């Protein structure tokens, strides 16, 4: 926990299968506080850095959200899914043997700079007051408008087809799932995201983050010693 005069924030390594909302609820219970929030959603199947703000530091959430992000991940070529990741089952499979490593790198480089990106239908983007995923899960068609994002770095770090590992540095609002899907479309074979980890938000690094278990144990120790949890 990093303490400020007007509140606290902590760096947390979100576990897989937890939603960002799940994490906030767990910490709300552990810290016995109502004023708490996170600065940037991670999908349930993603892991990595999540900034949690409490007290008056929740006023800084927008500031944290505006910082650039860094991710590492893996995508699978030749298969597409409705959610662009493994939340849903693959719906198509195409031959990829003709795709070369140079083509993959060239395709990734084509996304550098400011681009127009359409969010996944299975996302929390609001459409007519409802989350897009609510429509998608009912099989209802919904059209999402593209938004401008910036891809500052898109490095292909390893290729073992059909898997491709990568590192991305991007602006606020970028969907890495959409980037994986769009890369597959550019190559003409489709793709989906299979792994994702957020490693950095601005200057805040994942290596300095704690797990939920670490935080829970520290809170338990403080309370056992009759020390205020705000001393974290």
Residue of 34, 39, 29 whose CA lies nearest to 2 = 39
Residue of 184, 201, 188 whose CA lies nearest to 85 = 184
Q: Contact, 222 vs 229, CB < 8 A?
A: yes
Any catalytic annotation for residue 43? yes
Set 6, 43, 182, 221: catalytic member: 43
Burial of 62 (0-12, 13-18, 19+ CB in 10 A): exposed
Query: Where in the sequence numbering do the catalytic residues fall?
Result: 43
């Amino acid at each position: 926990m990093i303490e400020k005069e007007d509140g606290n924030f902590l760096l947390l390594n979100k576990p897989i299968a937890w939603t960002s909302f799940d994490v906030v609820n767990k910490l709300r219970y552990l810290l016995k506080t109502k004023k708490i929030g996170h600065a940037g959603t991670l999908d349930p199947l993603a892991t990595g850095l999540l900034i949690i703000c409490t007290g008056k530091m929740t006023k800084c959430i927008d500031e944290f959200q505006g910082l650039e992000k860094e991710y590492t991940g893996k995508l699978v070529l030749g298969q597409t899914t409705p959610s662009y990741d493994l939340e849903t089952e693959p719906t198509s499979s195409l031959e990829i043997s003709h795709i070369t490593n140079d083509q993959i790198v060239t395709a990734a480089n084509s996304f550098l700079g400011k681009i127009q990106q359409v969010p996944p239908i299975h996302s929390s983007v609001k459409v007519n007051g409802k989350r897009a995923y609510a429509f998608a899960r009912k099989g209802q068609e919904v059209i999402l408008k593209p938004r401008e994002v910036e891809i500052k770095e898109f490095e292909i770090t390893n290729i073992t087809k059909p898997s491709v590992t990568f590192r991305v540095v991007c602006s606020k609002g970028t969907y890495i799932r959409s980037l994986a899907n769009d890369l597959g479309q550019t190559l003409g074979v489709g793709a989906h995201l299979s792994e994702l980890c957020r490693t950095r938000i601005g200057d805040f690094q994942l290596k300095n983050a704690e797990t939920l278990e670490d935080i829970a144990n520290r809170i338990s120790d403080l309370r056992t010693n009759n020390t205020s949890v705000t001393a974290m």
